[in-house]
Structure 1
Amino acid sequence: MKHLLITAAFTFAGTAAFADFQLDAPYTDDDGDMVADIPTDPAQLVDPAQLIFAYTPVEDPAVYAEAWSDFLAHMEEVTGKPVQFFPVQSNAAQIEAMRAGRLHVAGFNTGSNPLAIACAGFRPFAMMAADDGSFGYEMEFITHPESGIASVEDIRGKTMAFTSETSNSGFKAPSALLAAEYDMEAGTDFTPAFSGAHDNSILGVANRDYDAAAIANSVLTRMVDRGVVSMDQITSIYKSETFPTTGYGTAHNLTPELQEAIRDAFFSFDWEGTSLAEEFSKSGESQFIPITFAEHWSVVRDIDAAMGVSYDCN
């Protein structure tokens, strides 16, 4: 099987935004909802004996394998199929796994949703939210108390950690902000580093490997609650508007009946007393709510457009 390389091309000043969101050639969007249609040809549908689930890449997958265990048991009961947790090491690997048919159900991080939809036929339908229906997280710039950084302007000449180029809060939003509001470009005004995950960036700042980092504060909240880092090690110098959080959904070519059963597993799950609640209540989340890519990811697409982001799925 041909190895799929998924990249995002980024340009900044003087580049016109790409106005239209396009799906890659294998996928169609006849109903105009911006995500891949379920195939109408039965020969193109799959009904796997076992479902593979992956959560967005994290520094310690074992923690999240346990956190998702009660939910995956519930999905097994609803769908009648065994479900395996699949730890992924990068956003690109997660997208590639779904495009290749090795991943059926997934939570893709905020910035990866457009790539997963365009390049892998991902169909998101759910997001975590608080009891009152509020959702999302903020991007923060963090540093450590001995860095000499007291404001965003002080990042000049320092090392700034990002997560990966597909991440909204870990790369795209902070890069757009630094360029537009502070006239700062990576490689010219500061030294960029890529940690691979938000928890890696947070640990890197706490351990003074990086001077500063752009991170999702929901991850920071959970790490502080678990005692992985202390707020004594972290100083926040900037907080953004609220962004949507991880989007959950299925591969486009699962049978309609299976996609509906998986959807039902998310919305019928009783969080109280579960391993999922134990982990995600740390960032205020207690339920799954319905979402659409067209509506809830409009701010992310706006950031991509402002940066001149294009996606290469070949």
Structure 2
Amino acid sequence: MMLLSSLTTVAAEQCAAQGALHERYCDADGDQVADLPADPALWRDPQTLVWAYAPIEDPAVYANLFKTFTRHLETCLGRQIVYYPVLSTGAEIEAMRSGRLHFAGFSTGPTVEAVNHAGAVPFAAKGIGDQLRGYRVLAIVRADSPYRDLADLAGRKVAHTSALSNSGHLAPQVFFPSEGLVPGENYVPLMSGGHDRSILGVADGDYDMAAVASDVLERMIERGMVRREAFRVIYESGLFPTSSFAHAHDLHPDLVAEMKRCFFNFTFTDEMKAEFGGDEHFLPISYDRDWASVREVIERVSDPPPF
């Protein structure tokens, strides 16, 4: 513990700027993400790479879905690639912060926490052609319910997903008040633990309304897990970026360059295209630019994530 504290102190003393990053990281170039360590001796170049994907839904779904992609990376990089199914967003961020994850897919809100507190460097996102995948924040109710506007939900059972979720918790705190519904005042958010659980909870009558991501709802409808006609959408936000793919800031730059090449030359399988709404491949992103709207929500939110 003393050694870690000393290294953190030295890093902070040598860093000219950190921005919103934790003190263990530096952002001298001002691009909002952690810089590569100045000392090449600290660059990691492991022969076995461990990665994970955001636990938006059942982790087992993605473990199977990404098998072909994982094998592609093994061939392309000439290294062993291990997919690790994390059970929570907090666990995924902690795994990268501690060095157990070398790269990972993070959902929208947690991307910011992963950047600031785990040294994640987003470099790719899913897309069609040259267009990045996006989603909207939805407020859904049962189609047979009496609720027509957000203001109607005061005092009712409203589901949020988790403290780090942009669409399931953070954005509603910023957007809903102007529609006459203030989270924490007009209702107590009930944390469901996931978008799929919120959606099923509304369908089953456990919640009167839920704030969810539009892309998750669409996937569940396409899988036959719920019926579109079972819901009514009473609020819809503007477009947000969806999950990012990020590498640890201290990976060797040659490895990062090869990893990017392998990501960008992979074409999604038919199963991946179906699961991700027609997305075909990975596209390069700029965290500074593409996550600006998400950072704005987090800066304005009244109940910041517990990090």
Do the two structures share a fold, i.e. TM-score over 0.5? Answer: yes
Q: Which amino acid aligns with 1:59?
A: E
The match for 1:69 is 67
Partner of 1:262, secondary structure, is: helix
- Could you tell me which of 210, 215, 225 is aligned with 1:228? 225
- Could you tell me which of 171, 183, 204 is aligned with 2:169? 171
Deviation at 1:306, TM superposition (A): 2.0
Q: Distance in 1 between matches of 2:132 and 2:94?
A: 31
Alignment pair present for 1:213 and 2:210? yes
The match for 2:273 is 277
Q: Which amino acid aligns with 2:246?
A: G
Deviation at 1:210, TM superposition (A): 1.0
Q: 1:168/1:129 Cα in 2 relative to 1: closer, same or farther (>3 Å)?
A: same
Q: Distance in 2 between matches of 1:241 and 1:58?
A: 20
- Contact 1:69-1:275 at 8 Å conserved across structures: no
Q: Which amino acid aligns with 1:291?
A: I
In the comparison of the two structures, how many residue pairs are matched? 292
Alignment pair present for 1:194 and 2:188? no
The match for 1:239 is 236
Partner of 2:196, secondary structure, is: helix
- Could you tell me which of 153, 156, 178 is aligned with 1:155? 153
Alignment pair present for 1:303 and 2:297? yes
- Unaligned 5+ segments in structure 1 are 3-19
Alignment pair present for 1:47 and 2:41? no
- Unaligned 5+ segments in structure 2 are 3-17
The match for 1:6 is none
Q: Which amino acid aligns with 2:294?
A: V
Q: 1:274/1:75 Cα in 2 relative to 1: closer, same or farther (>3 Å)?
A: farther
Alignment pair present for 1:266 and 2:263? yes
Q: Distance in 2 between matches of 1:259 and 1:308?
A: 36
> Higher relative contact order at CA 8 Å, sep ≥6: structure 1 or structure 2?
1
Q: 1:256/1:56 Cα in 2 relative to 1: closer, same or farther (>3 Å)?
A: same
TM-score, normalised with respect to structure 1: 0.87
Partner of 2:121, secondary structure, is: strand
Superposed CA deviations along residues 290-313 of structure 1, whole A, max 9, x for unmatched, are 111110011111112222676664
Superposed CA deviations along residues 8-33 of structure 1, whole A, max 9, x for unmatched, are xxxxxxxxxxxx95111111112211
The match for 1:80 is 78
Q: Which amino acid aligns with 2:159?
A: A
Partner of 1:191, secondary structure, is: coil
Q: 1:113/1:46 Cα in 2 relative to 1: closer, same or farther (>3 Å)?
A: same
- Contact 1:199-1:219 at 8 Å conserved across structures: yes
Partner of 1:137, secondary structure, is: strand
Partner of 1:243, secondary structure, is: strand
**Structure 1, 247-256 or 53-62: larger mean CA deviation:** 53-62
**Structure 1, 56-65 or 181-190: larger mean CA deviation:** 181-190
Q: Distance in 2 between matches of 1:309 and 1:129?
A: 31
Runs of 4+ in 1 over 6 A off after TM superposition: none
Deviation at 1:226, TM superposition (A): 0.9
Q: 1:144/1:78 Cα in 2 relative to 1: closer, same or farther (>3 Å)?
A: same
Q: Distance in 2 between matches of 1:188 and 1:310?
A: 16
CA RMSD of aligned residues (A): 2.0
Q: Distance in 1 between matches of 2:94 and 2:129?
A: 34
Q: Which amino acid aligns with 2:50?
A: I
Q: Distance in 2 between matches of 1:284 and 1:156?
A: 37
**Structure 1, 141-150 or 86-95: larger mean CA deviation:** 141-150
Partner of 2:226, secondary structure, is: coil
Deviation at 1:232, TM superposition (A): 2.6
Q: Distance in 2 between matches of 1:155 and 1:44?
A: 52
- Contact 2:163-2:305 at 8 Å conserved across structures: no
Partner of 2:131, secondary structure, is: coil
- Contact 1:108-1:246 at 8 Å conserved across structures: yes
Q: Distance in 2 between matches of 1:134 and 1:56?
A: 17
Q: 1:262/1:132 Cα in 2 relative to 1: closer, same or farther (>3 Å)?
A: closer
- Contact 1:70-1:275 at 8 Å conserved across structures: no
Deviation at 1:71, TM superposition (A): 1.1
Superposed CA deviations along residues 233-289 of structure 1, whole A, max 9, x for unmatched, are 222111110001101110111111111111111101022x44322321xx2322211
Q: Which amino acid aligns with 1:210?
A: Y
Partner of 2:54, secondary structure, is: coil
Q: Distance in 1 between matches of 2:120 and 2:164?
A: 15
